[in-house]
Amino acid sequence: MAIFARDLSVRSYRNFERYDLALDEGVTVLVGRNAQGKTNLVEALQLLTAGQSFRKPSPAELVQTGEEGCSLSLRLEGDGRVLDHELVVASARRSFRRNGKKCTASGVRGALPSVLFCPDDLDMVKRSASVRRGALDSFGMQMSERYAQLVSAYERTVEQRNNLLKERFCTRDLLAAWNESIASTGASLLVHRLALLARIRAHFVRAYASIAPHEVADMAYQPSIGDLEHAGAATSADEAARAALRLEAQERFLACLEERADEELRRGLTLSGPHRDEILLTVDGRDARHFASQGQQRSLVLAWKVAEVEVTRDILGRPPLLLLDDVMSELDAHRREAFLGFIAGEVQTVITTTNLGYFSDEILSRAKVVRVGDGDDGVEGGVARET
Ligand SMILES: Nc1ncnc2c1ncn2[C@@H]1O[C@H](COP(=O)(O)OP(=O)(O)OP(=O)(O)O)[C@@H](O)[C@H]1O
C-alpha cells in the first residue's frame, strides 16, 4: 500500500512567512513566476522525506531573512498510519521530529523516500564522478539505514585519515593503524553500492530503451581498487557469497593503501577507496562523459530517475514521492511525454513550472494546479513575502 504526502506547512522559511499546501495523491503542479518560492517548497518536501536537501543549506539559510528560526512540517498518510515529520531551526541549529519526538535526519528518512529531478541533474553525466557517486549514495541512504550508516562512517574515516596524512609527523606505521578500519568500512560500502547499482541498472537499461529505442545505454561501477572477481555476488541472497566479496574488497583495498602509501604521504590524501570510484555510463558502448550528445545526456538522466522510482517500488513495495523541479522546460516534447508516461497516475508527483503550456490537457485535467506567488488570486493558503 502507498504512503502519501498530504499537508506541507512552513513558517518563516526562506521567502515564506507562512505557507500551507495540501498535496494531491496524484500530480500537483506548482506554477508561478521566477523566484516565487516554488523550488523552496520542493526543497522543504525533500528535507522532510529524505532528511537532506540538494542545495545542502546551512540551517541559517533556511530561515527567512530577519527571523530567528523556522519550522517545516509534513503529514504523511497511508498503510493505516499517520506520520508527522517536522524540521525546526532555532539558534542556528536544526532538529527533526517524528510524531513530536526529537530524532536525527534518519528518523524522517525511509517512510516516504523522495526522488528529486532538478536542472542541476541534467549535466550529471559530464560532471565529476563525485556527482554520480553522490546521486547513488543519496538514494541508497533513503533505501537502507545500514547504507546511510556506512556512508557517514566511511566519510568520517576518510576525513580523519586525510587529516593525519597532512600532519608532518605522519609515518607509514601510523597510517597502518588506520588502514584496517578504512578498508573494512570501505569494503562494506562498496558491496552496498554494487548491490544498489545492479538494481538500478536493470531498470535504467529498460527505461533508456523506451526513451531512445535505437540505442543501448548501460552503467557500470568501476572501483578505484580495480575490478573484483566476485562482484556479481553483491546481489546474491547467499550471505557467505557476499562475505567473500567483502573480504576480497577489503584485502584489495588494504593492498592499494600499502602500495600507494608514499604517494599518499606526499599528497596528504587517501587515494583509493569508494570516495574515488567511478560510475560509468555508456551509450552504444561509448563512454557518455566524452561522447553523449546533449539529448543523450538528458535521456540518461531521465532513465536514471525512472530507475530510482522503480527500485523504490522493488525494495519498499511502494512508490516514492517524485519531485520534478523546473525540468519540463529543459526536455523536448518527446522526452517530456516519455517521462510523464512512465509515472502517469501511479506515483505521487510534485512538479514546478513557470508555464503550464508544457503539460498536456490530459495531465492537467487530473492534476491539482496551485499558483505560487504574488499577483495570483489562486495562491493556496499562504503568504509569500519577497525579500
Ligand atoms: N532565507 C531566505 N530568506 C528570504 N528569502 C529567501 C531565503 N532563501 C531564498 N529566498 C528567496 O527565495 C526566492 C527563490 O525562491 P525559489 O528558488 O524557490 O524560486 P522559484 O519559484 O523556484 O523560481 P524559478 O522559477 O526561477 O526557479 C528568491 O527570491 C530568494 O531570494
pLDDT in tens, 155-179: 999 999 999 999 999 999 999 888 9
Q: Structural domains in the chain?
A: 1-112+322-387 (3.40.50.300)
Supply the pLDDT for residue 333.
86
User: How many whole angstroms separate alpha carbon 254 and alpha carbon 258?
Assistant: 6
Other CB atoms within 10 Å distance of the CB of residue 260: 16
Record the cell numbers describing residue 64, joined without a space.
527567512
Give the model's pLDDT for residue 66: 97
Tell me the CA–centroid distance for residue 40 and ligand 1, in Å: 6
Whether 362 has a pLDDT exceeding 60, the answer reads yes
As a whole-number percent, the residues of the chain with pLDDT over 70 amount to 96
d(CA 18, CA 47): 17
Q: What is the mean pLDDT of residues 21-35?
A: 96
For residue 372, the ligand 1 atom closest to its alpha carbon is 21
Tell me, what amino acid is at 351? Answer: I
Residue nearest to atom 25 of ligand 1 (CA): 34
Of 96 and 123, the one with more pLDDT: 96
Is the full-model pTM beyond 0.90? yes
Which of 33, 40, 65, 67 has the most ligand 1 atoms within 8 A of CB, as the residue to mutate? 40
Give the residue whose CA is nearest to atom 13 of ligand 1. Answer: 35
Packing angle of the helix pair 129-143, 145-166 (nearest 10 deg): 140
- What's the pLDDT band for 51 if we cut at 50, 70, 90? very high
Evaluate whether 49 touches 74 at the Cβ level (below 8 Å): yes
State the Cα–Cα distance between residues 302 and 297, nearest whole angstrom: 9
pLDDT of residue 336: 85
> Ligand 1 mean position to 70 CA, how many Å?
15
Taking 3-state DSSP, the helix, strand and coil percentages for the chain, each rounded to the nearest 5, stand at 50, 25, 30
Ligand 1 centroid distance, CA of 378 (Å): 19
12 lines ligand 1 (CB under 6 A): no
What is the number of other CB atoms lying within 10 angstroms of the CB of residue 339? 24
121 lines ligand 1 (CB under 6 A): no
| Rounded-to-10 torsion of CA 372, 377, 380, 382 | 80
Q: Quick: pLDDT tens for 74-84.
A: 999 998 899 99
Calculate helix-pair angle for 172-211, 239-259, nearest 10 degrees.
120
CA of 33 to the centre of ligand 1 (A): 11
Residue ranges for the binding site? 32-39
- The reported pLDDT for the residue numbered 379 is 38
The verdict on the CB of residue 64 being under 6 Å from ligand 1 is yes
Ligand 1 pocket, 374 CB below 6 A? no
pLDDT of res. 335: 85
Please indicate whether residue 39, judged by its CB atom, sits closer than 6 Å to ligand 1. yes
Q: How far is it between the farthest Cα atoms of the chain?
A: 69
Q: pLDDT per residue over 118-142, tens digit each?
A: 999 998 999 999 999 999 999 999 9
Is the confidence at residue 279, as pLDDT, over 60?
Answer: yes
CA of 329 to the centre of ligand 1 (A): 19
Question: Which of 14, 45, 358, 383 to probe ligand 1 with, by most ligand atoms within 8 A of CB?
Answer: 14
pLDDT digits (tens, 9 = 90+) for 287-333: 999 999 999 999 999 999 999 999 999 999 999 999 999 988 888 88
